[in-house]
Chains A and B, each alone.
Chain A
Amino acid sequence: MVKQPTQSKQEIIITGFGGQGIVLAGRILGMAAALKDDKESTLVQSYGPESRGGACCAQVVISDDAIQYPYITTPDVLVCMSQAAYLKYYKSVTPEGFLLTDKDLVKPVSDRDCFSIPSTRMAEELGRKMMANIIMIGFTTAITQLVSKKAAEYAVTSSVPKGTEEMNTKAFNKGYDYGKSLLKGRAQKASGKKRANA
């Protein structure tokens, strides 16, 4: 079930609504790849009315080689943090790609397999709704292995405001652990062990 990113180029769309830190999330992923994982990366961000709560989108390309064209139409990884964003993009993700969503904000309308995490709820539990994007980065890192955990953690701590590094690392790990656990749970389910008490 878990696919390793085999292609030398990965195209990622992170999308949601303004104020969720979508662009920052895109930048962190790109930074992780470029600064620590020895790869090339580009980021295209959508501004405009979107920053006032409308749809918001970050397009990230991560590649082993130089990137010629930064725009994306069929992402390998699609991260959706709102229902509108999901509806707009979910059909575009490549068949073998990853679809990741916020569990409480996105109600899937197709049976296309998706990995979901209650990132906003978890961020609220940690005391800051703002950190949902960081949780999502942790989750994406665990599920897709687009970037290494170390690189992502580094990019998180160097992108967030001074003094909040520890809190954000915690959020990142929360998402990361959840992702790992989801993969483990899927493996257990596949081997027939869905429950503690069969």
Chain B
Amino acid sequence: MDNFKIVLFLCNWSPHAAFQKLQDLSFDIPAEINMIRIPCTGRISKALLFKAFEMGADGVALAGCSPGTCRYGSGTENAIKNTQDTRDILDIMGLGSERMRLETFLPDETDKMYQFLSTFTSDLKTMGKTPIKGFRSDEIPEDPKQSITKIIAEYDAYACLDCGKCTSSCPLALSGKDFSPRALVTSLIEGDITSETIKENIWSCLTCGVCYNRCPSEVNFPELIQKVRAHTTKDITGQNRLTHGGFFQSLMRSMTHSDIQQKRWQTLPKDIKTDPDSKILFHGGCAPYFDIFFRNHHKVENSDILENALKLLNFFDVTPAVLENERCCGHDLLWSGDRNNFLKLAKLNQKILNDSGIDEIITACPECYRTFAHDYPANGIDLNFKVTHLYEFLENEIDKSAVTFDGPEGRFTFQDSCRLNGLDEIKDLPRKLINRFASGNFQEMQDSKDGALCCGNSAWTGCDAYSKALQVKRIHQAKKTKSDFMITACPKCRIHLGCAMEDPFEGGKLKMELTDLTNIIAEHICWE
């Protein structure tokens, strides 16, 4: 059993003293252990912990200082939380929480250190190698300049009139950021893709599409950006612009490995009916991972959307299949520039789903819907089944059914989802559904529909003070409607806007209930 890879993050203080003594006394430290000395375990984020697994580690150990002895106060406490979150994520991933361990030490606990390391190593050997085989870096195209010229032609950016309508409507520019889509298009046409404008701006765009709706030359800005990001070179990479240390991209890249066996639906309530032989597959999306990742931050709960979507399918007599080993659709990889791994993931999904014999996939996630229905075919990945958004299913069923709504009470407003707004077949559906129960309690925000302000982040890239300002502006707009809650149509809107509500400067002033449309429908729909 050679080439096992175990990463040991060893805190510089107590654990290091214990470890050094092991070395001094020539203890037989397992050869598989790669020790990395760090200043404090509390600084090893979930992104770093998971990065090791993404790169093929079979196990990761954190050795910190005993509670109360952390030199920086809260290090051990943070490490405990990060470890717990990472372990739970490893469980859903199917890697197993036991591959990640945290132990705390006093400087003289040499034996304990030895025990810890040897037990961990032997336990890992019993578990076997990780199913993640080898690191998948994002490869760079040979001649980025050449490809960018092609992209500009494809999206007809040469037709730009330099009118500036895009910049004057861009929510990011309007929130004060020194960012100009017009200038970006101009620099792209000039062809110097290493220019400062491009380097900086290509990763700032939220790909929300407001400018596309305004542009007289119909330059499809979001897709232009998506393509250009995939063709940037190392020196203008967006790696440092990824939010949360690139954790989510790591997670998604890990799913490109065919051997992983996730356990996504373990906590599904018993009263929800599914059927493995169904011709209809419900695709949940990555909300369960997000929920764990953010549970100590602002208590995001988006798994309820998945459960409620399934309840609604059951309500209308559909007993769908769910896939325990469901993979991410790849949306965030595609939009954050990692086209190669997006394609790997998409091809894997294509094979698994096309071979599964389903007729239809239903999803409640705008990104999954868009990616399966539009971006897969646009990238040559054809699926042999129908892709349906839950809202299409619901509108169709409710329209012909004797159902009614016993609520909700209170007033509400709606946060548009940029991914749904970009699709003609779906963009009107959320409001159509809302109208079915609204009965005069619905109020639009100042900017809505084609001009709606987005939630301030996209594909886990470029979250900064300006996206925060944008989010705060949006919440103020919602508050102005005097609504009791804001209805969302995308789990990410709920995450990012919920995050902004934690703003320490504004205190509780931004607090407002965020509820997903699927949840409201599921809670209030009933038979006549």
Contacts and interface: CB of A to CB of B under 8 A. Distances in A.
Nearest to A181: B401
A186 B527 CA distance: 7
Contacts of B271: 198
Interface of B: 271, 308, 311-312, 314-315, 317, 400-403, 521-523, 525-528
Interface string A64-106: 0000000000000000000000000000000000000000000
B401 A196 contact: no
B108 to A, nearest CB: 57
A179 B528 CA distance: 11
A180 B522 CA distance: 21
A184 B522 CA distance: 18
Interface in A135-179: 174, 177-179
B308 A189 contact: no
A197 interface: yes
Most buried by A among B400, B402, B523: B402
Contacts of A186: 527
Most buried by B among A184, A188, A195, A197: A197
A178 B400 contact: yes
Contacts of B312: 196
A177 B400 contact: yes
B516 to A, nearest CB: 13
Given A182-B528, A188-B527, A196 B315 contact: yes
Nearest first, the 6 A-B pairs at minimum CB distance are A185-B527, A182-B402, A196-B315, A177-B400, A181-B401, A181-B402
B400 A196 contact: no
Most buried by A among B308, B317, B527: B527
A178 B402 contact: yes
Nearest to A176: B400
Contacts of A193: 315
12 contacts: A178-B400, A178-B402, A181-B401, A182-B402, A185-B401, A185-B528, A186-B527, A188-B527, A195-B315, A196-B526, A197-B308, A197-B523
A100 to B, nearest CB: 13
A174 B396 CA distance: 12
A194 interface: yes
Contact of A197 (B311, B401, B402): B311
A174 B528 CA distance: 16
Nearest to B314: A196
Interface residues of A, number: 18
Nearest to B308: A197
A185 B527 CA distance: 5
Contacts of B402: 117, 178-179, 181-182, 185
Contacts of A194: 526-527
Nearest to A186: B527
A131 B317 CA distance: 29
B522 A181 contact: no
Given A179-B402, A196-B311, A197-B523, 20 more contacts: A117-B402, A174-B400, A178-B401, A181-B402, A184-B317, A184-B527, A185-B403, A186-B527, A193-B315, A195-B315, A195-B525, A195-B526, A195-B527, A196-B308, A196-B312, A196-B315, A196-B521, A196-B522, A196-B525, A197-B522
A1 to B, nearest CB: 13
A181 B403 contact: yes
A181 B400 contact: yes
Most buried by B among A178, A188, A194, A195: A195
A189 B527 contact: yes
Contacts of B522: 196-197
Interface string A1-22: 0000000000000000000000
A195 B520 CA distance: 12
B102 to A, nearest CB: 38
